[in-house]
Amino acid sequence: MLQVAGVVGAVGAALIALGSYGAGAIRYRGGVADAVGLVWLTYGHGANVSNVAFWSGLTLLVAGWVLLGKGAIFDAGGVVVEHVLRTRAVVRCVVLWTVPLVFAAPVLSRDVYSYLMQGAMTRDGFDAYSQGAIADPGVYLYEVSHDWRTTTTPYGPLHLFIGKVVTSIAGDNVSLGVVLFKALAVFGFVLIGWTSARIAVELGGNPALALWLGAANPVVLTHLIGGLHNEALMVGASGVAVLLAVRRRLVLATAVLAVAIAIKATAIIILPFFAWMAVDRLVASRSLGWGFPARVGAAVGAGVALAAELLAVLAVITAVTRTSWGWVGEISGNGKVINPLAAPSFVAGAVIPYVRLFDEDASFNTVLALTRVVSGVLLLVGLAACWFVFHGSARRAVAGMVAAFAVATVFNAVALPWYYISPLALVGAVRPSRRVVGFVVWASIVVGMSFTASGNHKLYDAPWIVPLGLLAWGVTLWLLGARVPLSVRVGSASQR
């Protein structure tokens, strides 16, 4: 079954790559298809062929992932040597599936063109924190989605610096710029895979499961390697930071975490759990009989110290990259994106028909504004609850990070598939329950199959999403029919 899974997924990835040049988030002007005389693949019947290739490939990639789970995860015996062999099998499949996607055009999102635009603005002396892309007309502006041409960027100084370097190398060659960002996405993806497996071993978890959920996952593969999102670098750097923290190198871990935050601020969610890890280690090493209030006080103190270090590193990064702190004011982003992956949008869409029974003129945007306020409060409460609940060991602290990332994404005003990669990268490493594994599998299939090659979603398309949800449920039950080896005995790792 493992060989079949590898071949099925590889064929799927190859079809996605082929279809991407006609159906993907391709350039508005020029591009590979135009350069090689295959522009007919981007419109009319040619576009239909490209879309058939993409959807066939995506279906096969998901099928390969499911078969890999059945062969390498859910029927494993639980012996350490078995995990070593099965982890290698998962790695082989990840490599097989990644290689074709490396050669694909951007799919599922046009964000890479915005990254290039922001880098070009920084290169050309503009401030992407106060000016939109339209301030710097040029070849990159043509490729930016119309929705984002007047908006500022919420990303950190290192993101802008990376974009500046890329566009300085590529000049006005958009295709070369995309290739360079693809290389960065692959690097980040490799970091995610490596760290998720190592963290699992350190915590006494199953590295095969961690890789299957966090790297082989079709949502991760298609949106990071195919979509080229800067989440790849942010989540990869965050994984390195967490691995260092689990290995009791908190000072260095915090410095690396600052690098992740300098790409995208979402990584800040990890820092409070580093404070718990510092206190838990202190209490365990000195056999201190501290009660919970004393632990909380010590954690707050440790958090302040770590935050000071983190701010110092961020200040150095900001100075070296010659950018500014303008990103802090832009973190909240904007509310243009509406889909049910974010709780406020989901609730607003569900209740508006009933609201209009009493008020025919009720506006969806008015209801959405209210649900976003309520959701924002729930987000803060949820993050606080995660911090207060998940402590006592390194494994529980990392589990808290997973829960906090999930809360922050679900209750955020805006959510997109790649936002969920932060919790996916860590969830398999913390010995999750069968119910958690089952939900992640189901959600990964549904979300992974609900976005078109060009980036539009089908989440409001009931004839699509309902059968897909039922099919994913059946597949999940089939996978969970066998015992899941969620942990292994690796020395004293389980005591951390």
Burial of 135 (0-12, 13-18, 19+ CB in 10 A): middle
189 pLDDT above the threshold of 60 = yes
pTM, entire model: 0.89
Closest CA to 255 of 269, 266, 245: 245
Residue with tokens 């984002």: 148
Domain of 338 in residue numbering reads as 2-495
At 57-95, the pLDDT tens digits run 999 999 999 999 888 887 643 333 346 668 888 999 999
**Total of domains in the chain:** 1
Angle at 105 between CA 100 and CA 110, to 5 degrees: 135
Name residues whose C-beta falls within 8 Å of residue 69's C-beta, 6 or more positions apart in sequence: 212, 441, 479
285 pLDDT above the threshold of 70 = no
Give the whole-angstrom CA distance, residue 196 versus residue 430. Answer: 10
Express as a percent the part of the chain with pLDDT over 90. Answer: 62
At 82-137, the pLDDT tens digits run 466 688 889 999 999 999 999 999 999 999 999 999 999 999 999 999 888 899 88
At 236-258, the pLDDT tens digits run 999 999 999 999 999 999 999 99
- The pLDDT score that the predictor gives to residue 171 is 92
